[in-house]
């Protein structure tokens, strides 16, 4: 992977976006009663979040080496996307659990 700031930011944004998409897919699957599919989608979201964190770590390493330069709007946007994906993933895991409990209540 290239380690110039613009590439790092774009990769971070892509991974964060994929994580959000998988998380929302998990919510949709849970609403439809597919809890195994929801768990799989959350696991895929976790993989993308880990990749985003990896790119963030690359930005931190670049900064530590003195190569970051002035903070850019692109970097701020990339970090915002990553943190939003992390927050939404956590909230959606809670929503999946609510759907599961409602389904169990309806079945019981």
Q: Which token pair is 24?
A: 């929302």
Contacts of 75 by beta carbon, 8 Å cutoff, 6+ apart: 5, 9, 59
Catalytic residue of the set 15, 53, 56, 77: 77
User: 99 catalytic, yes or no?
Assistant: no
The DSSP 8-state label assigned to residue 65 in this structure reads T
The catalytic site residues sit at 77
């Amino acid at each position: 992977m290239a380690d110039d700031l613009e590439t790092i930011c774009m990769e971070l944004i892509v991974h964060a976006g994929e994580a959000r998409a998988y998380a929302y897919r998990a919510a949709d699957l849970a609403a439809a009663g597919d809890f195994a599919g929801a768990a799989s989608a959350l696991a895929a979201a976790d993989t993308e979040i880990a990749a985003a964190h990896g790119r963030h770590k690359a930005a931190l390493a670049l900064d530590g080496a003195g190569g970051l330069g002035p903070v850019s709007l692109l970097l701020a946007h990339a970090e915002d996307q990553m943190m939003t994906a992390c927050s939404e993933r956590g909230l959606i895991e809670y929503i999946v659990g609510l759907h599961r409990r409602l389904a169990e209540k309806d079945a019981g």
